Chains A and B, each alone.
Chain A
Amino acid sequence: MEARLRVDWIRCDGYGLCGDFVPEVIDLDEWRYPIIDPRPIDGELLHAAQRAVDCCPMKALILESAPSESRRRR
């Protein structure tokens, strides 16, 4: 299975824990808001990504199976 991370930007408050959990996929900007690598995630990283989702204090991080809606739109 391949998946992608998506952020609910209205919920996200910039705690930045996600970037600490999966730095391979999530970079943080200077305000600790995530910058997500758009490439699909699989294998080992999927577990780390799921952990980042589970630990988001705002429940603002979403793991969805690829292709994401945004990819289909383009």
Chain B
Amino acid sequence: MPTPDPTQRLLAGPPLDGNPERLDAHLTRLGALPSADNHLDLISSLEASGLLGRGGAGFPVGRKWRALAERKSGTAVVVVNGAEGEPASAKDRILMAHRPHLVVDGASLAAEAVGADEIIFYVGREHAAAVAAMGRAIDERRAEVRQAMRLVTAPVGYVAGEASAAVHYLNSGDARPTTTPPRVSSSGVHGRPTLLQNVESLAYAALIARFGDRWYRSAGRLDSRGTALITVSGAARRPGVMEIELGTTVGEIAAAAGTTAPRVQAVVLGGYFGTWARVDDAWGLPLDPDAMKPKGLTFGCGIVGLLPTELCGVSATAEIMAFMATESAGQCGPCVFGLRAIGAATHRVANGAAGGGELGDIERWVSQIPGRGACRHPDGAMQLMASALEVFGDEFIHHARTGRCSITGSRGEAA
């Protein structure tokens, strides 16, 4: 028998062929879930593991559970976040569609650990295979899990998975963010303390409960320990979801996805709220949250988007900005008007139709818009835009001055 690859943890087991792992197979492979009686031990173990939330913000999972477990009053609710509205990401839906019982395991452990009597699985409704797999897994576990469990499909939309938006939807059917404070941890679903956690984070918690924090920490090349799911897209022969040891370089990931540096011009990391990096800077970069942070880069939800050499980074950025503007929840002025304006200005530059003031305006908006919204959607969009100005700065200027693209040679990409 071949030695199992120690970096394949969530994705170990049956192939990712569209079929969910059934409960009996899950139990045979991983054993029963340890009892959660000593929930403070589990929280300590999660803290020791160093596991960070994988929804995008990267908040330490153990610390989040402890803060909720040590609250003064109220019965908590657990919201399992599988909305996955980020268009470049597929790892959550792949996980839910193939390893649904790991997600249920993690959710029930979280509920026991923080003292919750209800678990809500919030799964993006466009992820049909994930919805079906989670629905069946929840039904198979009702007799055993002590909490009430229900599946709620999340509306399509980038912002629907944001914490306050998810809670708002569960409370009132409106998936738009709300003003914080109060935070969902103190006043969430039904106004009760709420633990909202991404599906991948919960699945890892289920493995850490079985095998321990030292096992989790045995993977990882640099300071950040453990493994993570990522989604590779763009200029690769084999794009898709992978599980990597933290600290694996972008170049190694690209090689595994079937591409080489000369085919790639730049890499978008983290997500549409993330950052662009030049291929020369990105190739040797370890995907490690601790190593990325000081460079102003973000691990986010594990996006590695490879921009091919033959495409224009200005146009790619314009498309992302147009998407981010469309996906504004439409509540906060600086996001509604600012993102629309920056999307239009970037589009004019990309298409060789700039009137002269665009680059100055874009730079000003990049500094003015962040921090001026109920959620961080505009902040994320501006982070991506700021990195685009750095990475594709010369090309932005070339487009604005000449009306032409030096990569495609065209005047007006969209024409």
Give residues of chain A (13-32) contacting chain B, Cβ–Cβ below 8 Å: 13-14, 29, 31
Task: Say which residue of B179, B331, B372, B374 sits within 8 Å of A33 (CB atoms).
Answer: B372
Do A13 and B372 contact each other (CB < 8 Å), given the known contacts A8-B179, A69-B181? Answer: no
Main secondary structure of the interface of A (DSSP, over half): loop
- Residues in B whose Cβ lies below 8 Å from that of A33: 333-334, 337, 372
Minimum CB–CB distance from A39 to chain B (whole Å) comes to: 14
For window 286-300 of B, CB contacts with A under 8 Å fall at none
CB < 8 Å neighbour of B332 from A12, A35, A69: A12
Given contacts A33-B333, A33-B334, A69-B181, contact A10 B368 (CB under 8 A): no
Number of interface residues of A (CB under 8 A): 13
Verify B331–A9 contact, CB threshold 8 A: yes
Contact check, A7 vs B181: say whether CB atoms are below 8 A apart.
Answer: no
Q: B374 is contacted by which of A10, A13, A14, A69 (Cβ under 8 Å)? A: A10
For B315, the chain A residues whose CB sits under 8 A away are: none
Alpha-carbon separation in the docked complex, A29 to B334 (Å): 8
Q: What A residues does B335 contact at CB under 8 A?
A: 9
B372 and A9 within 8 A (CB)? yes
Partner of A14, one of B177, B181, B333, B368: B333
A27 to chain B: closest residue by CB: B368
Q: Which of B10-51 contact A (CB under 8 A)?
A: none
Chain B residues lying within 8 Å of A7, measured Cβ to Cβ, are 372
Complex: A31 Cα to B177 Cα, angstroms: 22
- Closest chain A residue, CB of each to CB of B336: A31
Look across to chain B and name the residue whose beta carbon is closest to the beta carbon of A11: B179
B200–chain A nearest beta-carbon distance, Å = 25
The verdict on B178 contacting chain A, using a C-beta distance below 8 Å, is yes
Q: Which residues of A contact B178 (CB under 8 A)?
A: 10
* Across-interface contacts of A10 in B (CB, < 8 A): 177-179, 331-332, 374
CA distance A14 to B336 in the complex (A): 12
Residues of A within 8 A of B368 (CB): 29, 35
- B181 / chain A contacts, CB cutoff of 8 Å: 69
Q: Does B373 contact A (CB under 8 A)?
A: yes
**Chain A residues, CB < 8 A from B374:** 8-10
Binary interface encoding of chain B residues 151-183 relative to chain A, with 1 for a CB under 8 A from any of its CBs, else 0: 000000000000000000000000001110100
CB distance from B361 to the nearest CB of A (A): 9
CB closest residue in chain A, given B180 = A69
Q: Which of B329-373 contact A (CB under 8 A)?
A: 331-335, 337-338, 368, 372-373
Fill in one digit per residue for A35-52: 1 if any B CB lies within 8 Å of its CB, else 0: 100000000000000000
Can you pick out 25 interface pairs between chain A and chain B where the beta carbons lie within 8 Å of each other? Answer: A7-B372, A8-B374, A9-B332, A9-B333, A9-B334, A9-B372, A9-B374, A10-B177, A10-B178, A10-B179, A10-B331, A11-B179, A12-B333, A13-B333, A14-B333, A29-B338, A29-B368, A31-B333, A31-B334, A31-B338, A33-B334, A33-B337, A33-B372, A35-B372, A69-B181
| B contact residues vs A (CB 8 Å cutoff) | 177-179, 181, 331-335, 337-338, 368, 372-374
The 5 closest A-B pairs by CB, nearest first: A9-B332, A33-B333, A31-B337, A10-B331, A14-B333
| Given pairs A10-B331, A33-B333, A33-B334, 12 additional interface contacts (CB within 8 A) | A8-B374, A9-B331, A9-B332, A9-B333, A9-B335, A12-B333, A31-B333, A31-B334, A31-B337, A31-B338, A33-B372, A35-B368
